[in-house]
Structure 1
Amino acid sequence: MKRKFSLDRITIIFIGLILVGGIFSSCLKDNYPNGVSVQVAGIALINASPGSPNLNFIADGQRKPLPSLFAYDSAMAYLPAYPGYRVFGFTLPDSYNLLISQQFYLEPGDAYSIFISDSLEDAKLTYLRDTAMLPDSSMAGIRFANFSPNSQGLDLIVANTDTLANNIVYTKATAFRSIAPSTNYSFQLKEKGSNTILATLNNVSIEKGKAYTLWARGFENSNMESTKIGLAIMRNR
């Protein structure tokens, strides 16, 4: 399920993952001999490739239909995937020529977020393991990931005062950390050690007991609305 909201020219993407529990506890029997049950993994897909068109998802050489269009700033809820070594990639619409593909290893029962980033000519795939441990059920979990290709280390400031992440370089992410729930968070993206605000994300609702990934995408030196640096957020659970 994909929902997109526009606030202050920055896109917030909330993914309702109410089926995650079912994904991780379910079993697939298709294509396995003798009816052997296999616990699946879950993969979320995030398009952080600035200005890209709708992309097709390829898994082990086969095109896999997605529940909705996968354009820039789109995120897909967790899809079930067989565990083990898998090769995932993307093509342009109506094309079978791979833009990029990469082998990943999926543990059964685990969840992952797979990002495509940078321009399509230099596309890169990165996956993050989505393990969000919340020590206190009254809190939420949040992490920050940098998918702005030409950025230096980035800092993320929450509520205009607290540093949530410090000097996160391209394709890297923090671990999940606890954050108090609120219906009106503001986030600021800055270069490492700088007071210059590169992007903001305002009026963000963070619910207790939920986990979120907030990421930077776009090019730091771009003036085009469709490709300039910004922030987006997704709910992991």
Structure 2
Amino acid sequence: MLHLFKRSLLNKVTLSLLCLASVSLTGCMDNEPDMPEPTPVAYTSFYHGSPDAPAMDVQVNSQVVFNQSLPYSTYTGYVTLNTGSTNFKFTPSNASNAYLDTTLNLKQGQAFSLFAINTLDDMELLVVQDSVKTPADGKAALRVVHLSPDAEAVDVVAIGDKEVPFSSDLAFKDITLFHEFDAGRYDLEVKAAGSDEELLTVPKASFEAGRAYTLVIRGFAFPPSGNTNALAGQIFRNY
């Protein structure tokens, strides 16, 4: 992801070097039209984390972004958007009324994650400005977000060659920073905060060097009748 943020700067540097190299022959093509400046862009990802809500459409400035509605637990990856005041809506499929409606001022190079969370009756939008940074050599990065509306606060550790703690007393709607650790394969254990009570495990999760990931704790600790979205852990790669 980081190389995308630097592309416009690289273009400018490359153009300057070419100009210097050819100035004695062509005056850097003084008679040619100027190259247009790259359009400034920002990046936004979307996640459907409301465990009793139907599939939803995502609209940006009243335009539907994806060809299909997003089912529960879907992560879209980053979408490139123009900068400036931008309206976001989560709506029922093929409908104009919005469950969620917010406007953000996007600036060049910024990255945001938008999580639709909580139950359908109390749906909220969790907006997170992401810190996009390539992990150090041999390292991966992981953050944890607690999206279970009825689960208690949790501690999260990764068990591999050594134990790596990722969060302590993480409550609903809390999200950690990206934490770097040795790349490899781990069992992720989610426990009730301050205890050894294991709520769930994500076994044999693989983390690649140079990549950043999110662990979402989602679903109902006590699903209502007819709902099968029980407490679970989901890992997706951000970049």
TM-score (normalised: structure 1): 0.79
1:178 equivalent among 153, 158, 180? 180
The DSSP-based 3-state class of the residue aligned with 1:204 is: strand
- Aligned residue pairs total 210
1:115–1:24 CA distance, 2 compared to 1 (3 A)? farther
Greater strand content: 1
Aligned to 1:10: none
Aligned to 1:47: 48
Between the aligned partners of 1:68 and 1:186, the Cα distance in structure 2 is 33
- Post-superposition offset of 1:153: 2.2
- Post-superposition offset of 1:194: 2.1
- Post-superposition offset of 1:114: 0.8
**1:136-194 CA-partner distances (Å, limit 9, x unpaired):** 22111111111112233221121174321111222221111111111x31111122112
Aligned CA-pair RMSD: 2.5
Q: Is the 8 A contact 1:115 1:125 kept in 2?
A: yes
Q: What pairs up with 1:24-43 in 2 under 5 angstroms? A: 25=7, 37-43=38-44
Greater helix content: 2
1:66 partner amino acid: F
Please say if 1:232 is aligned against 2:234: yes
Q: Which has the larger radius of gyration?
A: 2
TM-score (normalised: structure 2): 0.78
1:194–1:85 CA distance, 2 compared to 1 (3 A)? farther
- Post-superposition offset of 1:51: 3.6
Give aligned-pair identity as a percent: 23
Q: What pairs up with 1:96-175 in 2 under 5 angstroms? A: 96-134=96-134, 136-159=136-159, 161-175=163-177
Q: Which runs of 5+ in 2 are unaligned?
A: 9-35
Please say if 1:89 is aligned against 2:89: yes
Q: Is the 8 A contact 2:45 2:114 kept in 1?
A: yes
- Post-superposition offset of 1:229: 1.4
Aligned to 1:198: 199
1:88 partner amino acid: F
Q: Which runs of 5+ in 1 are unaligned?
A: 1-16, 27-34
The DSSP-based 3-state class of the residue aligned with 1:104 is: strand
Q: Is the 8 A contact 1:23 1:80 kept in 2?
A: no
1:37–1:132 CA distance, 2 compared to 1 (3 A)? closer
Between the aligned partners of 2:3 and 2:69, the Cα distance in structure 1 is 24
- Post-superposition offset of 1:200: 1.4
Between the aligned partners of 1:125 and 1:41, the Cα distance in structure 2 is 19
The DSSP-based 3-state class of the residue aligned with 1:98 is: coil
Q: Is the 8 A contact 2:135 2:141 kept in 1?
A: no
